[in-house]
Each structure stands twice: as C-alpha cells, then as structure tokens.
Amino acid sequence: MKRLVFMSMALLVVFCALTARVDAEERLKLATTTSTDNSGLLAVLLPQFEKKLDMKVDVIAVGTGAALKLGENGDADVLLVHAPSREKSFVDAGFGVNRRNVMYNDFVIIGPKVDPAGIRGENDASKALAEIDRKGSLFISRGDDSGTHIKEQALWEASGVPLKEVKNMITKKGKDREVQYIGPEGKWYLSIGQGMGAVLMMADEKNAYTLTDRGTYLAYKDKLDLDILSQGDKRLFNPYGIIAVNPDRFKQINYFGAMELIAWMTSVEGQKIIGDFRIAGEALFHPTAVRP
C-alpha cells in the first residue's frame, strides 16, 4: 500500500513538472512600444495568434529603447519596435535575429485648436518645432527613449533650436533607468518620461503641443481637444519591425515561439488583420510584409 502511495506521489510530481514545463513553453514575452498597445492594435491582433497557436503572449509595453534593453538582457523573447537605426544596431551587435518589416504609420505634431504657435498646415516638421520654440508655446515630450522620442530628437536637431543635455529617470515596474538625451532649453519644454497615452492626456490638459504617432492619436482622439497641425513631412514616416532575440546568447529564450509570432504577423492572415484595424473608419497601421 505504501509503495502504491509512493508511486502515485512520484507520478504526480512528474506530471506537475511536465505541466509546468508545457506552460512555460506556451508563454511568449513580447516587448513592444506603448503605441502598439495604446492604439488597441494588440488587443485585436494577439488573441487571433494565441487561439491559432495555443500560445499565451505576455505583452511588455514600454518605449523602443526600453524594449531593446529588455532584449539585450534576455528578458523578452521577441520585440515589436519602431526605430530602424536602433534595431539595426541591436541585430548587428548579435542581440537579435530574423528582423522583418511589419507595418508603418506616421508621426504628426498635434496641439490646441487655437494654435498659439501658428503652425497649422506647416508640412516641414522641424520648422513647426522651431516656431513652437520661437513663440514659447508649451510642448510635452515623452522623454523616455522611445521610438517617438528618438524621432522627436532628430527633428529638434534639424530645427536649429538651441539644445541642451537632458536627464530623465524612467521607472517601470519598480526598476529605474536613467535616460540621457538632447532637448530644447526653454522652460516651455516639459519632458515627462511617460508613454504616448499619458503624454496625449497631459498635452490635452495643458493645451500643449506634442509629437505622436498617428495611430495612438486616432485611438485617443475622442478624448482630446487637440488637432493635427503639422503632417506630411517624409521624415515623419514611422516603420515597425519585429525581431527575435538571439537564442545563442540566452538559452532560456522561447525562440520557436518568437519565430511563430514573426511568421504569423508577417503572413497574409496577420497582415490583413493589421490592415483592417480601424477606428472611426480610419486605418491606424499599414502592412508592409504582405499587401492584403
């Protein structure tokens, strides 16, 4: 009898261990941008993948810089980000493999309807920023090393506005990370170290200007009293790429799950879901891997 009890307990331990292993293998850590999360795209896209592949995707929504850092530390399996030069450096350094283009949208400069800086209709983004500086109109920056923030810095550099070194302490899930970058000198420039949704709400509250991706703006539009004032500059093109973290660096990486997500997101089915995703009839993202 004792032997049967012992065998039963041993089988139970083995079963639990196997179950835990299966559960671990069925989870995938996706580090991505707040824009893909705040826009509502992932809430539509990922459940389809999870159902089809029987795999749970755990989303870590941060700025692109923080997402890449998670990949460098082996704390994510796959990245969906939007800063091509940084993505290339990540892959060239051996942290990522199998990068694929997924989709694009664009950045826009938004602000109060009364437009105190007078930039409405200005299609040169750097000229629009220079005018905001000249008028001393309030501007809210993400200041979080995200893809949007990286783009904003490039536009300020091209604007001719005097710049200074800025430091922000970004806190995410109890972990602090210092971000150093360049930004305008004026007191009208507020750098808050937050995601796109939080920046949009603050800009609305303070009647301020900001740079945002069009997708997140459209998702929040009904909550905002802010207009798109500057758009169309070719420098505002905003492509997204998906990258598997290199399993040769981190043995714990769910590489096969990452490749399943990459293959699905760039498949005809995944690309169609991205292309069909709309708010008030307006497309938020445009697929680039496959044209549905």
Q: Is the pLDDT assigned to residue 165 strictly greater than 90?
A: no
Do residue 168 and residue 214 come from a single domain?
yes
pLDDT band at residue 141 under the 50/70/90 scheme: very high
Do residue 120 and residue 62 come from a single domain?
no
What does the alpha-carbon distance between residue 271 and residue 273 come to, in Å, rounded to a whole number?
5
pLDDT band at residue 61 under the 50/70/90 scheme: very high
Q: Is the pLDDT assigned to residue 287 strictly greater than 80?
A: yes
DSSP 51-64: HHHT-EEEEEEE-H
Q: Is the pLDDT assigned to residue 48 strictly greater than 70?
A: yes
Considering only residues 17 and 182, tell me which one the structure prediction assigns the higher pLDDT. Answer: 182
Min mean pLDDT across 102-106, 140-144, 162-166, 220-224 is at 162-166
Q: Is the pLDDT assigned to residue 20 strictly greater than 60?
A: no
Q: Is the pLDDT assigned to residue 14 strictly greater than 60?
A: no
Q: Greatest CA separation found in the chain?
A: 87
Do residue 33 and residue 121 come from a single domain?
no
Considering only residues 210 and 182, tell me which one the structure prediction assigns the higher pLDDT. Answer: 210
Last residue of a domain, one of 237, 252, 274: 237
Q: Is the pLDDT assigned to residue 25 strictly greater than 60?
A: no
Per-residue model confidence (pLDDT) at position 18: 46
Per-residue model confidence (pLDDT) at position 100: 97
Task: Out of 129-138, 188-197, 278-287, give the one with best mean pLDDT.
Answer: 129-138
What does the alpha-carbon distance between residue 187 and residue 229 come to, in Å, rounded to a whole number?
22
Task: Out of 15-29, 71-85, 170-184, 278-292, give the one with best mean pLDDT.
Answer: 71-85
Q: Residue 114's domain spans which residues?
A: 105-237
In a domain, 218, yes or no: yes
3-state SS of 162-206?
A: CEEEEEEEEEECCEEEEEEEEEECCCCEEECCCCHHHHHHHHHHH
Determine the length of the chain.
Answer: 292
At 260-279, the pLDDT tens digits run: 999 999 999 999 999 999 98
What does the alpha-carbon distance between residue 87 and residue 91 come to, in Å, rounded to a whole number?
6
Do residue 255 and residue 195 come from a single domain?
no
pLDDT band at residue 173 under the 50/70/90 scheme: low
Radius of gyration of the CA atoms of the chain, in A: 22
At 99-137, the pLDDT tens digits run: 999 999 999 999 999 999 999 999 999 999 999 999 999
Do residue 99 and residue 134 come from a single domain?
no
In a domain, 130, yes or no: yes
Do residue 66 and residue 182 come from a single domain?
no
Do residue 58 and residue 165 come from a single domain?
no
Q: Is the pLDDT assigned to residue 10 strictly greater than 60?
A: no
Residue the block writes with tokens 């029987």: 54
pLDDT band at residue 174 under the 50/70/90 scheme: low
Please tell me the total count of domains within the chain: 2
CATH number at residue 173: 3.40.190.10
